[in-house]
Amino acid sequence: MKKFISLFRALIKNWFRSKSGVFFSFLFPVMLLLIFSTVFGGQESVEYTLHVQNNDLVERYEFSLDQNYTRYLENGTVHEEMREAFEEKDHTISPDASMSKTGDKSWEINDNDRWYGLEENETKIDVYTLGDQVTCLSENFTKGLRKTETLDIVTLDRDVNVTEYFEDDTSFGESRRALIISRGFQEKALDKSMELRMKVIQDTMDRIGDQYDMNESEEENFTERQEMVDRWANRTKTGESAEVLLLTSEGDQVAPIIEGTVYGVVNNFNQRMMGVEDSTVEVESESIGRKDLEGADYYLPGLIAAFIMTNGIIGVTGTISEYKRNGTLKRLISTPLTKANWIFANVAQQTVLAFLLTGVMVLLGVVVFGVQVYPNLYALGFIFVGAVAFCSVGIVLGGLIKDVEAANGAGNAIAFPMMFLSGAFWPLERMPSYMQSVAKVLPLYYFHRGLTEIMILQDPSGAVVPFLIISVFGVIFMILATKVTRWKDM
């Protein structure tokens, strides 16, 4: 026992003298906790920028043309007579302008960035241009986007070419996202909603006809009305839906969130257009963990687990390598120390470091981030088991690999990938499914999951399986450590 305590003290002193040891065991995790909790754990809700260009403007009456001009209404270039008539009304139309039919009695002229709408009446042709006001429905749609807590809406001028706008200015970074509301949004939305409403009425009448028995006069009356609805339905058929164009850049990780939010607003808008004010399904959301947890509370267990693992594997392998390189190990072998003293002193040192690390991290969390979670007895027990398990891995590597550099390299090669792949630093759901499968065979996954269950969710029963897995893992590696450590021959 005395020999064990002497070696344990020597290991602890040696660790404190090593600046890199202290840095990687304490300062590095502390830095990561500060960075992760500050960057990803902000209390403010996150808003993503979305540029919106609303091109759906209210049409403004300008003048009327004589009915005689109806003969010049044709697809293609604008007839000279028609251009002259416009000129008389102080509207110059270039020879390149084109005319196209948009409805039964409606036409449009597109002349570069100018637009004219022509509506045939019984006695004349009314000519419209676009005003400065956006349409009511497109404005409501933008308001709907603004109401979501996810999007920060920035209005883009109508004369802006969106693609060039983003390419010219590099200051947008990843927020190169734009939603373009096309001209005719309101008109198409209204027409389509009428068409859909008629379809609903048709469908409802069909069902009523199928389900209810009627007498002869009722059936006659019903069929007459059904035919009337069918006629109206045919008349309101439009085929075209109002469109919005969502542009996102490749590799924008936030794009799926933006798309989801826009789809949500579109669905809501569609329902309103169909006259649905109420919803059949309501979603209430509540947290199943403790409600008052900050970002640091979530990162704390993951970081504690990850650095107990790296301290155990890299730290112990490094100590053994260093002791081998500077001859300390040979001197220790020639003292009365036994293999058991050597193994248990290393394990004890790592356990003390693990508790110290936990204390420092929690203290920092409380002082800087107001952390609400404290490691209880279950957590301390689990931390002890974890420290023993990962330290045993380090002893196995140190005993198994004779070459000093190779042992160090092996420690790094095992610990670093495990640190990033296990989901200790970010939710597992963000990783591809095959990586999630990899994470679930790594012991660190069970270590940080168990700590999260105990410290965050305060559910020790949820940590039973992780505890058992880490315990079995620890026992196996402790046995291996005693087998591969050939004390007198190291």
Partner 1 sequence: MMVKLRPDKQNLEAGFTASITIFKNMGLYPGDSFKNREGVELIVKGKEGSNEWYIESVDD
Q: Which residues bind partner 1 (CB under 8 A)?
A: 2-3, 5-7, 9-10, 327, 330-337, 488-489
List, in order, residues 6 or more apart from 303 with CB less than 8 Å away.
29, 32, 33, 36, 361, 424, 425
Which residue number, 133 or 326, has a Cβ lying nearer to partner 1?
326
Which residue number, 175 or 349, has a Cβ lying nearer to partner 1?
349
Measuring CA to CA, which residue among 358, 415, 414, 418 is closest to residue 382? 358
In the complex, the smallest distance separating the C-beta of residue 467 from partner 1, rounded to whole angstroms, is: 34
In the complex, the smallest distance separating the C-beta of residue 469 from partner 1, rounded to whole angstroms, is: 37
In the complex, the smallest distance separating the C-beta of residue 395 from partner 1, rounded to whole angstroms, is: 19
In the complex, the smallest distance separating the C-beta of residue 396 from partner 1, rounded to whole angstroms, is: 22
At 282, phi and psi to the nearest 5? -110, 140
Which residue number, 7 or 305, has a Cβ lying nearer to partner 1?
7
| 19, two tokens | 């600046």
In the complex, the smallest distance separating the C-beta of residue 488 from partner 1, rounded to whole angstroms, is: 5
Which residue number, 8 or 298, has a Cβ lying nearer to partner 1?
8
Are 392 and 471 within 8 A, CB to CB? Answer: no
Which residue number, 3 or 199, has a Cβ lying nearer to partner 1?
3
C-alpha–C-alpha distance, residues 410 and 395, integer Å: 12
Which residue number, 71 or 330, has a Cβ lying nearer to partner 1?
330
Q: Reduced to 3 states, what is the DSSP secondary structure of residue 149?
A: coil
Burial bucket for residue 427 (CB in 10 Å: 0-12, 13-18, 19+): exposed
DSSP 333-347: HTTT--HHHHHHHHH
Which residue number, 231 or 486, has a Cβ lying nearer to partner 1?
486
User: Tokens 């270590």, residue?
Assistant: 447
DSSP 48: E
In the complex, the smallest distance separating the C-beta of residue 405 from partner 1, rounded to whole angstroms, is: 19
User: E strand or H helix at 152, and its extent?
Assistant: strand 151-155
Which residue number, 58 or 337, has a Cβ lying nearer to partner 1?
337
Which residue number, 343 or 456, has a Cβ lying nearer to partner 1?
343
C-alpha–C-alpha distance, residues 109 and 466, integer Å: 71
Which residue number, 327 or 427, has a Cβ lying nearer to partner 1?
327
In the complex, the smallest distance separating the C-beta of residue 321 from partner 1, rounded to whole angstroms, is: 17
Question: How many CB atoms are closer than 10 A to CB 466?
Answer: 23
Which residue number, 331 or 440, has a Cβ lying nearer to partner 1?
331
Provide the b/e sequence for 72-93 (b: ≥16 CB within 10 Å): bbeeeebeeebbebbeeeebeb
User: E strand or H helix at 111, and its extent?
Assistant: strand 106-111
Are 297 and 456 within 8 A, CB to CB? Answer: yes
Are 449 and 302 within 8 A, CB to CB? Answer: no
In the complex, the smallest distance separating the C-beta of residue 1 from partner 1, rounded to whole angstroms, is: 9
In the complex, the smallest distance separating the C-beta of residue 323 from partner 1, rounded to whole angstroms, is: 13
C-alpha–C-alpha distance, residues 392 and 381, integer Å: 17
Helices within 1-113 (DSSP H only): 2-17, 19-22, 28-40, 80-88
In the complex, the smallest distance separating the C-beta of residue 327 from partner 1, rounded to whole angstroms, is: 6
Note the Cα 453 to chain centre separation in Å. Answer: 23
In the complex, the smallest distance separating the C-beta of residue 332 from partner 1, rounded to whole angstroms, is: 7
Are 88 and 135 within 8 A, CB to CB? Answer: no
